[in-house]
A and B are shown apart, each in its own frame.
Chain A
């Protein structure tokens, strides 16, 4: 209730925003003094205005919705397959022998190198975008699920077996929770790759979405709209990361790294 700690706390919370705000001010000054051409970068106020117009016309919401749907659907498909396959190879030796080296081989192909092939397969429709997102998301989820299951403490599994746990109960109480920290690292990586793949897919060809919006604006030299699109990606990326973090916080409450004021 004291004023001083309040301001101190506010100061601590505001500190990370200091540098971005200074950059914005410098940017605005550079644009106003004419040192920065609006063809290169529009002034921040123009970007805000463009964003406001896009919100009012409903364009922004429509495009964000389409992009978010593509990203999450692609994530669900790629992440789902990666998780199931990672479980398979992590839990069953024959599955590991049969699949893991193949997956690792494919993993080393840059996903973006697949684009010409993907266009040949799916044309430029929705499937191509979903496929690219799913492909990018698949590997981090697969690798971390497999690795997480493999690195569950063998002593804990031995203990649980000696207490009569087997089959699904062993998996639910010991193996999955033990692998979860690693799986969630994979999910966070995947969230990052999800946007990368989506941006690429949408800039190649699209009739809607944030990528379409920015590519369209480029045709008409609307630098301000292009910047709005870039900032939207940044914002959505940040949201995805916050989502991943909150999942971690909710499911890893037991982990020492997530405990506040752990007492000995």
Chain B
């Protein structure tokens, strides 16, 4: 631990002559990435611990999200990625350490909205009423406009039970976006959808992110999804960041783009290799 920390520190000061070390450094479970340091973090975690009884999910965890960026977190089930998202959302309290949510300049708080794995629509409210949840009646036009953005204007008076799984997630996305969030947390929102719908949703989320420029954090176990959406991909293994890299692919992302498959393969092999080790 101490050793890796020094290598991180030295990485900032003396980089020349140390080039070959980068590869080994990446593999070690080092905390913040040796990428350029965030200048305006929307979220910053410092030394965060999260224990559920005896089980330590996160220990001394450092993590920052640059404002306006799209960060993908991948990892196997139970690696702590969902806990991390719930900590950032404020749904869970950290056992120790600091979770900072920094409001943008001129704002009071970092408006945070979550998209869950299941759409969690209120079945007794119409699609439009679901989008307007927590908003005054006067925001009806806003809600209608947002529904139009996700392509569901025609269904505004239907009940959620009358929609398909993908349509329900689109309503959930509209419900989050109508609040104009600064930070959108996506907790495996597409995990329950079929492959075709998922690809459509990737394009939709990507387009809306580029239009609205909110900060986005996506938690997923689907590496392809993480590469398709994120600007930065973070791999969490046993409560630690073991890989953290920027994704410099062009947008809109195409699966056929040069480098897409290679990057996906690189991350995937890392996930698999570490999972295969007996721990």
Interface SS majority for chain A: helix
Most chain B C-beta atoms within 10 Å of own C-beta, residue among A159, A180, A255, A256: A159
- Could you give, for residues 126-169 of chain A, a 1 whenever the CB lies within 8 Å of some chain B CB and a 0 otherwise? 00000000000000000000000000000110111011110001
Chain A hits for B161, CB < 8 A? 254-256, 259, 262
| Interface pair A159/B159, CB less than 8 Å apart | no
Q: How far is the CA of A171 from the CA of B112 in the complex (A)?
A: 22
Is the C-beta of B47 less than 8 angstroms from some C-beta in chain A?
Answer: no
Number of interface residues of A (CB under 8 A): 24
| Interface pair B91/A255, CB less than 8 Å apart | no
Binds A, one of B5-13, B50-58, B119-127, B227-235: B119-127
| Interface pair A164/B123, CB less than 8 Å apart | no
Chain A hits for B179, CB < 8 A? 163
Chain A hits for B134, CB < 8 A? 160, 163-165, 169
Residue of A with least CB distance to B161: A256
- Checking A162, A177, A180, A262 against B122 with a beta-carbon cut-off of 8 angstroms, the contacting residue is A177
Is the C-beta of A263 less than 8 angstroms from some C-beta in chain B?
Answer: yes
| Interface pair B133/A254, CB less than 8 Å apart | no
A244-264 residues at the B interface, CB under 8 angstroms: 252-256, 259, 262-264
Chain B hits for A76, CB < 8 A? none
Chain A hits for B113, CB < 8 A? 162-163
Given contacts A164-B134, A263-B162, contact A156 B124 (CB under 8 A): no
Q: How far is the CA of A90 from the CA of B113 in the complex (A)?
A: 28
Chain A hits for B26, CB < 8 A? none
Measured CB to CB, the closest approach of chain A to B124, in angstroms, equals 4
Is the C-beta of A173 less than 8 angstroms from some C-beta in chain B?
Answer: yes
Chain B hits for A178, CB < 8 A? 124
Measured CB to CB, the closest approach of chain B to A99, in angstroms, equals 28
Chain A hits for B116, CB < 8 A? 155, 159
Q: How far is the CA of A99 from the CA of B259 in the complex (A)?
A: 65
Residue of A with least CB distance to B89: A162
| Interface pair B159/A254, CB less than 8 Å apart | yes
Is the C-beta of A174 less than 8 angstroms from some C-beta in chain B?
Answer: yes
Chain A hits for B175, CB < 8 A? 163
A206-264 residues at the B interface, CB under 8 angstroms: 252-256, 259, 262-264
Most chain A C-beta atoms within 10 Å of own C-beta, residue among B90, B122, B125, B160: B122
- Checking B91, B159, B160, B164 against A162 with a beta-carbon cut-off of 8 angstroms, the contacting residue is B91
Measured CB to CB, the closest approach of chain B to A160, in angstroms, equals 7
- Checking B89, B124, B162 against A177 with a beta-carbon cut-off of 8 angstroms, the contacting residue is B124
Q: How far is the CA of A264 from the CA of B166 in the complex (A)?
A: 11
Besides A162-B90, A255-B124, 15 other A-B contacts (C-beta < 8 A):
A155-B120, A159-B116, A162-B113, A163-B113, A163-B175, A164-B134, A165-B133, A173-B122, A173-B133, A254-B125, A254-B159, A255-B123, A259-B161, A262-B162, A263-B162
A-B contact pairs, 22 of them (CB 8 A): A155-B118, A159-B114, A159-B120, A160-B133, A162-B114, A163-B113, A163-B134, A164-B134, A165-B133, A177-B125, A180-B124, A253-B159, A254-B123, A254-B124, A254-B125, A255-B123, A256-B161, A259-B159, A262-B159, A263-B162, A264-B162, A264-B164
